[in-house]
């Protein structure tokens, strides 16, 4: 019984290519120029979403643990650190949402049914206005104005 051995050079190209692969390196002027800071801030928004989601899970768990646990959680949310965190999360995630809307037109087809897609600027402005209007509506509901 003979054993077959793999050829170590089986995947090597038969002849050298015209260019070699460049060594990995960060882009020029990273992160001081360009949109790098904006990209990094956009990405850091996911960390805040994770923390807000963990807080939401705490709220759901405290609802299952009874009225005392929920009241204690609400008292802890009145702490200045929590208030600051929620303010930061609101501002940061609103910024992320408003910038996310600028990506929306790039994902839409040029025709929506029998109609042409509206101009990109109008679509983005409409989405941002709808976001701000819904934020004001929810804020008014939470404050008891409506």
Give residue limits of the domains in the chain. 36-143
pLDDT in the model for residue 32: 76
**Range with the lowest mean pLDDT among 74-88, 103-117, 129-143?**
103-117
The correct CATH number of 36-143 out of 1.20.1300.10, 3.30.2130.10, 3.20.20.70, 3.30.70.20 is: 1.20.1300.10
Residue 50 pLDDT exceeds 90: yes
Residue 10 pLDDT exceeds 80: no
pTM for the full predicted model? 0.64
**pLDDT tens across 15-34, in order?**
777 776 777 777 777 777 77
**pLDDT tens across 30-47, in order?**
777 777 788 888 888 888
Tell me the mean pLDDT in the region 4-20.
72
How distant, in Å, are the alpha carbons of 22, 72, 128 from that of 19? 9, 65, 46
Tell me the mean pLDDT in the region 129-145.
92
CB 85 within 8 A of CB 58: no
Q: Tell me how far apart the alpha carbons of residues 27 and 36 are, in angstroms, rounded to a whole number.
A: 10
pLDDT in the model for residue 2: 60
pLDDT in the model for residue 1: 55
Q: Tell me how far apart the alpha carbons of residues 79 and 89 are, in angstroms, rounded to a whole number.
A: 15
User: Residue 99 belongs to what H/E stretch?
Assistant: helix 80-100
Residue 101 pLDDT exceeds 80: yes
Give the closest residue to 102 by CA, choosing from 122, 132, 116, 80.
122
């Amino acid at each position: 019984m003979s054993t077959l051995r793999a050829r170590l050079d089986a995947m090597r190209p038969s002849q050298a290519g015209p260019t070699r692969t460049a060594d990995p390196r960060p882009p020029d002027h990273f992160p001081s120029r360009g949109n790098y800071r904006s990209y990094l801030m956009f990405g850091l928004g996911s960390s805040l979403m994770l923390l807000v989601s963990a807080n939401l899970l705490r709220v759901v768990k405290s609802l299952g643990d009874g009225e005392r646990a929920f009241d204690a959680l609400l008292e802890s949310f009145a702490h200045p650190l929590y208030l600051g965190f929620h303010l930061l999360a609101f501002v940061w995630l609103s910024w992320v949402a408003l910038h996310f809307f600028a990506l929306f037109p790039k994902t839409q087809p040029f025709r929506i049914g029998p109609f042409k897609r509206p101009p990109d600027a109008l679509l983005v402005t409409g989405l941002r206005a709808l976001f701000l209007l819904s934020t004001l509506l929810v804020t008014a509901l939470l404050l008891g104005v409506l």
